[in-house]
Amino acid sequence: MFVIENLIYKDILLIDRMEIPANKITCLVGESGAGKSTLLKMLNIMLSPDGGEIYFKDKNIKVADPILHRRKVVMLAQQPTIFEGTIRDNLNIGLNFSEKKLKEDHELNKALEIVHLNKALNEDAGTLSGGEKQRLALARVYLMEPEVYLLDEPTAALDEDAESVVMASFIKQVKQNGQSVIMITHSQKIAAKYAEKMITLEKRAVDRG
DSSP-derived 3-state class of residue 110:
helix
Per-residue pLDDT, 37: 97
List, in order, residues 6 or more apart from 65 with CB less than 8 Å away: none
d(CA 93, CA 205): 41
d(CA 188, CA 55): 29
pTM: 0.95
DSSP element (H, E) containing 148: strand 148-152
Average confidence (pLDDT) per 10 residues, the chain, 209 residues: 97 96 96 95 97 98 97 94 97 94 97 98 97 97 98 94 96 97 92 95 63
Per-residue pLDDT, 146: 97
* Domains of the chain and CATH, by start: 2-200 (3.40.50.300)
Per-residue pLDDT, 209: 36
d(CA 172, CA 206): 41
d(CA 207, CA 101): 51
